Structure 1
Amino acid sequence: MSGQFLAIGEAMVELAPDGNGALRQGFAGDTLNAAYYARSALPAAWQVSYFTLLGQDAMSDAMLAFMAQKQIGTDYIGRHASRMPGLYMVHLKDGERSFSYWRSESAARLLAEDKTTLKKAIEASDIIVFSGITLAILEDDGADNLLSVLQEMRGADKLIAFDPNIRPRLWPDQDHMRSQLIRGAKASNLVLPSFDDESSHFGDLTIADTIDRYRSYGLNRIIVKNGADDIEGYFDGQPLTIKATTAPQIIDTTGAGDSFNGSFLGHFARTKDAVASAQYASQVAAKTIQHYGALVD
């Protein structure tokens, strides 16, 4: 069994607490995290690749080497002559995280300028994952380019997964943010939202409201994450409820949703079983939040 998994988005330099009062430098980003966990869940015959734009600097070189070490393909990563990767710092309080970002001129903001290259990568892939953060960072016509290609490919035999991953600070205003996130959902055929985000920014009172709203956009595959509470969804005409795995301790929630996304997609590619895949993904997410940083071995 073989195939091609493609994650599209921004890979960043991560500075995160190491538990000893110092900062550890690594590489992460929501869709890169998903690719990392998908690689762990997929058979070796599957190719996992990342689509982004980096610089020609030493940190970009190190990021490419890191991806290669983790068996994430870099053939679809371009290099920009004057821009560099973005950077973020993780702040932790009682296991919950907040972030500081330096990304306004990151190379990844131009990743979708070349629509031909973008289309070639998506055409060659069986599973594609992107996020609301991917859409939010794109400059000029980047979001339109990405969404138009995905919409064109939506009817093909591909799994196009979208995590709204709502980050209001990345958007100019709430109305634009909501309209673009709806466009992202309509360009996909699987959505992986988090209920706390949907409740805060779309006014959903219950998970059923979230599911019904995404169904109204034409989605038939919806998996709603809800922290430590039950995962609920609607998948190929069937409602789903999956008990979430509880972590005995929470060290760092960074990357929890991303680890769920990648693990779910990787497991589903092998089994075609949404319930088993959500159970597996919940187990991985529970392990992830018991360690520092987004990427856990």
Structure 2
Amino acid sequence: MTNKILAIGECMVEMAPQAQGGYAMGFAGDTFNTAWYLRKNLPADWEVAYLTGVGTDAMSEQMTNFISGAGITPELLTVPDRTVGLYMISLKDGERSFSYWRSVAAARKLAQHPAPIDALEKGDVAYFSGITVAIVEPEDRQALLDTLSAARARGVTVAFDPNLRPRLWAGTDEMRDWIMKAAAVSDIALPSFEDEATVFGDADKAATLARYQNVGVTCVVVKDGPDDVLAQNGSAAPVTVSPVLNPAPVDTTAAGDSFNAAFLAGHLRGEYLSLAIAAGCALSHKVVSHKGALVDVT
């Protein structure tokens, strides 16, 4: 039987700076990046699919073809009067910042297309992020979480990366509220400590881990950039994994997204938690040595 992992979110046009000047166009986005790396890390008997919104314009068609060409099944809501979002990367000393144009993105309507989530069965996986929840129309957020909750109740594993982005929310209280509502429908959470400490005031990684456990998340993996990862799965003892440091990162775009992919691939194959985390660290280490979100290093 073929299992399926459905990533949910926004794939965008990416404009990435080049060494010789100018920009190269590609397609990327947090949950799509994870889907792309999952396709390269999971065996062929897993189907990787992506749920997003597109328009009817040429750029939407080009993005759809890119998704399919990556071996990922497009699960698309077509919104005729909208298009796909765009972002531009700026780099300084390997650290990136972004400028976004997404107000007319069709992905903002994706929660109005629940059929791909409803089709998931026991043993399948749904993967989404805090950005997914933030970018959908506010009136659709609860419907998205209800659909994921129903999927979880029938045996679908729900994985969630909080991916805290304050600029996408009306305010900090709104962000905190929806992030924890999203966590409460999830089996796996993949928070990043630096962001969590800033937004939630967590004193340490143990506090972050406990907060997600307290809303019912079974497996929590707290990333912390170059520092140790703290994780716990169910009632097993917590584990700490030290990543191999990259002394000269070129571009940290998709560092967390690629970690998530390699971790989830290992976890879904039944690897020990520490080994799945080590695989995530190793892939992230490779990815940040190159420019752009999608790097063929597997």
Corresponding residue for 2:69?
69
After superposing the two structures, state which structure 1 stretch, 216-225 or 26-35, moved more.
Answer: 216-225
Corresponding residue for 1:280?
279
Aligned-residue identity in percent: 44
CA contact (8 A) 1:9 1:51 kept: yes
Given residue 104 of structure 1, which amino acid in structure 2 is its aligned partner?
S
> What SS does the aligned partner of 1:271 have?
coil
Corresponding residue for 1:25?
25
Q: CA deviation at 1:20?
A: 2.0
| Matches of 2:121 and 2:171, distance apart in 1 | 33
Q: CA deviation at 1:196?
A: 0.5
Residue 247 to residue 196, structure 1, CA distance change in 2 (3 Å): same
Q: In the alignment, which of 192, 195, 201 is matched to residue 194 of structure 1?
A: 192
| Matches of 1:12 and 1:55, distance apart in 2 | 12
**Relative contact order, higher structure (CA 8 A, sep 6+):** 1
Corresponding residue for 1:229?
227
Q: How does 1:33-72 map to 2 (within 5 A)?
A: 33-72=33-72
Q: How does 1:45-124 map to 2 (within 5 A)?
A: 45-74=45-74, 76-115=75-114, 117-123=115-121
Return 5+ residue gaps in structure 1 as ranges.
none
Aligned length, in residue pairs: 295
> What SS does the aligned partner of 1:187 have?
coil
| Matches of 1:111 and 1:212, distance apart in 2 | 31
Residue 121 to residue 84, structure 1, CA distance change in 2 (3 Å): farther
Q: In the alignment, which of 144, 147, 171 is matched to residue 146 of structure 1?
A: 144
CA contact (8 A) 2:54 2:79 kept: yes
Q: CA deviation at 1:123?
A: 4.3
CA contact (8 A) 1:40 1:263 kept: no
CA contact (8 A) 2:118 2:147 kept: no
> What SS does the aligned partner of 1:112 have?
helix
| Matches of 2:204 and 2:232, distance apart in 1 | 14
Return 5+ residue gaps in structure 2 as ranges.
none
Corresponding residue for 2:7?
7
CA contact (8 A) 2:53 2:78 kept: yes
Corresponding residue for 2:243?
244
CA contact (8 A) 1:15 1:89 kept: yes
| Matches of 1:14 and 1:121, distance apart in 2 | 30
> What SS does the aligned partner of 2:27 have?
strand
Q: CA deviation at 1:165?
A: 0.2
| Matches of 2:122 and 2:170, distance apart in 1 | 33
> What SS does the aligned partner of 2:111 have?
coil
CA contact (8 A) 1:4 1:124 kept: no
| Matches of 2:15 and 2:2, distance apart in 1 | 35
| Matches of 2:20 and 2:293, distance apart in 1 | 17
- TM-score using structure 1 length: 0.96
Query: Cα RMSD between the aligned structures?
Result: 1.4
Given residue 101 of structure 2, which amino acid in structure 1 is its aligned partner?
W
